[in-house]
Amino acid sequence: MTKLPIIKVRDVIFPRLQAPDLDAMEAFLLDFGMLRARRTQDTLYMRGAGAAPFVHVTHLGPAGFRGFAFEAASREDLEKIAASDGFSKIEELDSPGKGWRTVAIDPIGLEVEVVFGIEQAPPSEAIEARKLNMGTRFQRIGEAQRIGRGPSRIKRFGHLQLNVPDPQASFTWYHERFGILISDTIDLAPNTPVAMFNRCDKGGEPADHHTILFTNSASTTNAIPGLNHVSWEVFDFDDVLAGHEYLEAKKRTAEWGVGRHLLGSQVFDYWSDPWGHIHEHWTDGDQLDASTPAGSHGLHDAAASQWGPDVPESYRRTSAKVVAG
């Protein structure tokens, strides 16, 4: 039986990857739709078009995945989690927007940060949904729709998938500290999940269908724990397709897509960076509040699409091993 959570986090806000060439990573992320927020000799911060001052961090070093950050709901919650076992003292962030953090190490060795107080930045462009004429709703009368060629417009960091030895044990660790809730499980047998889709508990406020997804690493092609993918929400369906076309023209490595997931319902498109780390664009995902019960599904639903290409075997891997910061 799991304990009551220490706090309930609001969202994930950035990942920390590692790469041996910051120039090559920046070039890929520019094609992916990000903009440089800050760069030092050994760290690259990239932002999207939304108000977050950065949504992606790359540290110089051997390729891998260091960890990621949750956002606390309040300074009081930050202090509460920092005072619990396994968390560091609160320290100031040396990154765009500043803020404060505490850090713990999760069961597979990832640095999990809880942050609060990062100052938002002016959006780099207007965050307006394109007007659509669909069904019985006609929002665009007397004007043409013109989609410019170029990268996707990235709104925010949305979720990540981790390959772990024991999804249930990882869920318990994260739930007891951060209050995540199960949205859907993929079950090998009753009460034997091989994958768990989990969201933040925001009470009556809707949250993304999944913020963190745990998959059994024994079922992956390379059978090691670590990162499967990191994922960013884009503004709309056109951003997914225009971004796909742009990345294709730049001769980037396509991983899987475009399609629409079954669990979560997102329209998705996955690409690999120069070291094989999987990055996803998505839009139009399900939103659930805390009252929605968990669903249980068979193995055939694990990576099923409502439409689009079947999942390639290459996707079923740990794309970035865990590295120490």
pLDDT of residue 294: 96
* pLDDT, tens digit, 9 for 90 and up, residues 23-48: 999 999 999 999 999 999 999 999 99
Query: Looking at 143-252, which runs of residues are DSSP E strands?
Result: 154-164, 181-189, 192-199, 207-208, 212-216, 226-234
Average pLDDT over residues 118-135: 84
Residues facing residue 207 across a β-bridge: 288
Average pLDDT over residues 151-172: 97
pLDDT of residue 123: 80
- The answer, yes or no, to whether residue 1 has pLDDT greater than 60, is no
Q: How far is CA 44 from CA 21, 35, 58, 210, in A?
A: 10, 11, 5, 27
Q: What is the CATH number of domain 11-120+154-315?
A: 3.10.180.10
- Greater model confidence, 147 or 63: 63
Helix runs in 101-188, H state only: 167-178
Instruction: List the domain boundaries for the chain.
Output: 11-120+154-315
Angle at 213 between CA 310 and CA 105, to 5 degrees: 140
Q: Percent of the chain at pLDDT above 90?
A: 89
- The answer, yes or no, to whether residue 277 has pLDDT greater than 70, is yes
Distance between CA 258 and CA 323 in Å, rounded? 30
For residue 12, whether the previous peptide bond is cis, meaning omega lies within 30 degrees of 0, is: no
Among the listed residues 179, 182, 208, the one whose alpha carbon sits nearest the alpha carbon of residue 8: 179
